[in-house]
A and B are shown apart, each in its own frame.
Chain A
Amino acid sequence: MAEMAAKGESPEVLFWVGCAGSFDDRYKKVTIAFIKILNKVGISFAVLGEEETCTGDPARRAGNEFLFQMQAMANIQVLDGYNVKKIVTACPHCFNTIKNEYPELGGNYEVIHHSTFLQQLINEGKVGLKGGGEFKGKKITYHDSCYLGRANNIYEAPREVLQALDAELVEMKRCRTKGLCCGAGGAQMFKDAEPGNKEVNIERTEDALATGANVIAAACPFCMTMMKDGVKSKEKEDSVEVLDLAELIAKNEGL
């Protein structure tokens, strides 16, 4: 972003990478897949690089409102400094926070999640629908992220993205408004679960495996981690892949 700003350019969209997309080895692949798609369709975009910091979502959900607002204000100053208007992100938590919670602190942007962004690219014919791709006829199940679904009523965009793969979309018994959380939301990602008789991600992975799908599609870095760990503990990692929507599209496009 800084480079573009120095050249006096302003990108069409800012890609908010998020902490998981920046640091988590698994989710970095999603970041790269999404960048490849952006490059392919020739959209001018920028990232904040080292100037990006945590949106504050986990701090806020864990109760530390003070820290959240410090983060939010700092981020808003950076975003406004570059006169950012439109933001796309692959993290539903970043998406929810910037879209719904930054306006009250003075940060107003058009924020879209990458599932909606990909759906728009597909509808515009810029991506997908080639037919006969890698996933044609394969069984894919989609795990609803709480922060997309119930939190923001985004249920169809990710499914429409999957349909573009010409795959067989199979639903879990708990889906859409009744979708079961992966177990990581509300800052659970950053602590051990409270005492119980089962891990939430195992319960959810069982839902996913029961569909007989070869691919569990996710659209959130935390869901990705939880489902991946779930599949691993069920010793199914050889037959079942957990992939992000951007990875699926990028693979289908041969990127």
Chain B
Amino acid sequence: MQYISQIAFLVVVAVATYFLYKRITQIRKNILLGKAAGRNDNQPDRWKTMLLVAFGQKKMFKRPLPAFLHLLVYVGFLVINLEVLEFVIDGIAGTHRIFAPFLGDFYTVLINVFEFLAIGVLLSCVIFLIRRNVLGVKRFKGSEMKKWPTLDANLILITEIILMFAILTMNATDMLIQGQDEHYAQTGTFFFSQFLMPLFEGLSVSTLILVERFAWWFHIVGILGFAVYVTYSKHLHIALAFPNTWYSNLKPKGEMENMAAITNEVKMMLGMPVENAEEPPAEIGRFGAKDVNDLSWVNIMNAYSCTECGRCTSQCPANITGKKLSPRKIMMDTRDRAEEVGASIAAGGKGLEDGKSLLGDYITKEEINACTSCNACVEACPVNIDPLSIILQMRRYVAMEESGSPASWNSMFQNVETSFAPWKFAPTDRFKWADELNKEPN
């Protein structure tokens, strides 16, 4: 009988691992649809950024209340997972609370800490649900927050609440069993779950064992199932926040990525020496970005790291004033398109050649044209996602491949070319301002 549960446990773990592995491999492929990014420089700064921004949640604290609640869930997630270690050992070895006899009183302390965090997670998730569904905090709304993103957010919160309840139920029934069966490891009193004990009092030992086992299995299967679910969800940020911040842009935010392919062309036009002139020119796909494969892999990882919190959109001057642009939507679209292309390739389909593209079928010109490049979205993102980078690459595609920029921008280009200023003034008038200086008596 005991072996059956051990085998069942191993089967459950194996199935979850299989799906996780498959999914992670697929996401990796999807991210690598993007071009090389060259972000391996300056490693000490990269580790520091990751420690501060992802591990230390530095940017979350611009909004103290959600930051505090999120911190509870985050610490809960990190610490309660230590308990999962015991779950796994018990599951494989067929033991029950294997650490209890070894750790003695300290075990009680540990479980109490876990329970405290479980309560923290539970309360935070309840408040988060209220903020989303009752208070209707504005940044959780928006045109891109359609059925799935809204459901996804609620599913995550509800799952976490249920998982925490499972732990508490398991501990409460365990304490009741301990009172009636001395074969059970004595763990002392757990502060929070003792309040659940009245719910189960009066049940027979066998029923209690059944409830306790059910809660145990529910928790571990729940965690494994949730882990697989996360890879399909916005919740993936719990893992990707770390590499995402490591690969942050460390340069000043105002600096745009230089296009080396164009530098070579310009140099040749101006008769300047070109680096690597002997080498045949690298194959240039297209200028700027039309689809996900024109972006860098960091752009796509950004999209998978986005948890759709909407801080970017809530700070975006275009969005605030009713324009179509929403930086969050840019990221969600990028992820959706990468998923679509990746799934199609995996199924032997047309992939990128499916007649669709990120710009056009997902993101419109109206959206990218509304951007003021103010970097508010980049600044606001708690995990250093850069929606502006994608927007500007798309503008490059529109300007250089389609010549499809707004007419007034085309006139501005013309002015820069012919008058050397974005406005149509005679270049010979450029120094006229000095006349006024000379007019005034000094």
A residues contacting B by CB (< 8 A) are 17, 19, 21-24, 28, 31-32, 35, 39, 47, 49-50, 52-54, 56, 58-67, 69-71, 73, 96, 100-101, 104-105, 146-147, 150-153, 177-178, 180-181, 183-200, 202-204
Contact = CB atoms under 8 A, between A and B. Distances in A.
B408 A200 contact: no
B412 A62 contact: yes
Interface stretch (B27-35, B37-45, B252-260, B350-358): B252-260
Contacts, number: 219
A28 B412 contact: no
B370 A193 contact: yes
Contacts of B405: 62-64
Interface residues of B, number: 72
Interface string B314-334: 010110111111000000000
Given A17-B433, A23-B429, A63-B399, A58 B422 contact: yes
20 contacts: A22-B431, A28-B433, A49-B431, A54-B420, A54-B422, A63-B398, A63-B399, A64-B409, A65-B396, A71-B420, A101-B256, A146-B375, A152-B252, A180-B320, A181-B317, A183-B372, A184-B372, A187-B373, A196-B370, A197-B321
B317 A105 contact: no
Contacts of B437: 32, 35
Contact of B252 (A53, A56, A153): A153
Interface in B391-436: 392, 394-400, 405-406, 408-409, 411-413, 416-417, 420-423, 425, 427-434, 436
Interface in B284-327: 287-288, 315, 317-318, 320-325
Contacts of A47: 431, 434
Nearest to B366: A194
B369 interface: yes
Contacts of A183: 317, 321, 372
B255 A100 contact: yes
B134 to A, nearest CB: 26
B282 interface: no
Nearest to A77: B270
Given A147-B254, A197-B321, A64 B436 contact: no
A62 B252 contact: no
B427 A50 contact: yes
Contacts of A104: 258, 263
Contact of B317 (A32, A64, A200): A200
Interface in B238-289: 251-256, 258-259, 262-263, 265-267, 269-270, 272, 287-288
A79 to B, nearest CB: 15
A204 B374 CA distance: 13
Given A21-B433, A67-B416, A198 B254 contact: no
B372 A188 contact: yes
Contacts of A61: 256, 373, 392, 395
Contacts of A191: 369, 406, 408-409, 412
B379 to A, nearest CB: 5
A153 B250 CA distance: 13
Contacts of A71: 416, 420
B237 to A, nearest CB: 21
B437 to A, nearest CB: 5
A62 B370 contact: no
Contact of B436 (A32, A190, A200): A32
Nearest to B264: A69
Contact of A101 (B258, B398, B421): B258
B172 interface: no
Contacts of B408: 190-192
B255 A19 contact: no
Interface of A is mostly: helix
Given A150-B378, A178-B62, 6 more contacts: A23-B429, A59-B416, A73-B270, A146-B374, A185-B372, A200-B320
Given A73-B272, A188-B372, A151 B254 contact: yes
Contacts of A204: 317
Contact of B254 (A28, A96, A177): A96
B371 interface: yes
A178 B374 CA distance: 11
B343 interface: no
A189 B442 CA distance: 35
B113 interface: no
A65 B262 contact: yes
A150 B400 CA distance: 28
Nearest to A189: B422
Contact of B409 (A53, A70, A190, A195): A190
A20 B33 CA distance: 42
Nearest to B380: A178
B110 interface: no
B28 to A, nearest CB: 30
Given A63-B397, A65-B400, A146 B373 contact: yes
Contact of A150 (B253, B272, B288): B253
Given A19-B421, A63-B397, A191-B408, A54 B416 contact: yes
B142 to A, nearest CB: 14
A32 B267 CA distance: 36
A100 B412 contact: no
Contacts of B425: 22-23
Contacts of B396: 63-65
Given A67-B417, A96-B254, A23 B423 contact: yes
A66 B400 contact: yes
A198 B320 CA distance: 9
Given A152-B252, A193-B323, A198-B322, A49 B372 contact: no
Nearest to B397: A63
Contacts of A187: 373, 409, 412
Contact of A60 (B256, B320, B325): B256
Interface in B200-251: 251
Contact of B321 (A31, A100, A199): A199
